[in-house]
């Protein structure tokens, strides 16, 4: 019985490795964006990003457990994060007043928020339509 559990994902090892890379990318990109909100002293957006990131990690954990519904939920959370980034660039950023001594200049905000939004849009498309991610999600896997 233990051998069956140990090797249950061995037939989809390539797909699992591919999906692990996407999950690690999400964890690194999300943490980076949260840190940049903090360095720019945008504390409300920092708190919202932390909440979004925590929810996405819970959904990602359930997705890795082999639950198909969470694939769609994870893609939706990625798209919500991307939409929040677009909203931020279009509505919030023009009205931001620079604090006295921010750690990072205000002019780079649209660059990293735009790249993050694009990255999460691409990730959502891959989560929804990639054959490799679909196979890994059916099998179930861990990050290591």
d(CA 16, CA 5): 15
- Greatest distance between any 2 Cα atoms in the chain: 63
Nearest residue to 61 via CA among 114, 130, 140: 140
Using only C-alpha atoms, the chain has a radius of gyration, in whole angstroms, of 17
Residue 102 has pLDDT above 80, yes or no: no
Q: Which pTM does this prediction carry?
A: 0.84
Share of the chain above pLDDT 90, in %: 61
pLDDT tens digits for 57-70? 999 999 998 887 89
pLDDT tens digits for 110-126? 999 999 999 999 999 99
> What was the pLDDT predicted at 24?
94
> What was the pLDDT predicted at 15?
87
């Amino acid at each position: 019985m233990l051998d069956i559990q140990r090797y249950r994902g061995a037939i989809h090892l390539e797909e699992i490795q591919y999906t692990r890379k996407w999950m690690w990318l999400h964890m690194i990109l999300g943490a980076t964006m949260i840190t940049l909100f903090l360095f720019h002293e945008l504390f409300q957006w920092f708190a919202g990003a932390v909440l979004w990131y925590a929810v996405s990690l819970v959904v990602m954990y359930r997705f890795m457990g082999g639950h198909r519904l969470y694939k769609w939920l994870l893609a939706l959370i990625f798209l919500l994060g991307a939409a929040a980034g677009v909203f931020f660039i279009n509505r919030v950023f023009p009205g931001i007043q620079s604090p006295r001594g921010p750690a990072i200049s205000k002019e780079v905000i649209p660059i990293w928020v735009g790249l993050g939004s694009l990255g999460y849009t691409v990730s959502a498309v891959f989560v929804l339509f990639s054959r490799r991610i679909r196979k890994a999600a059916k099998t179930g896997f861990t990050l290591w």
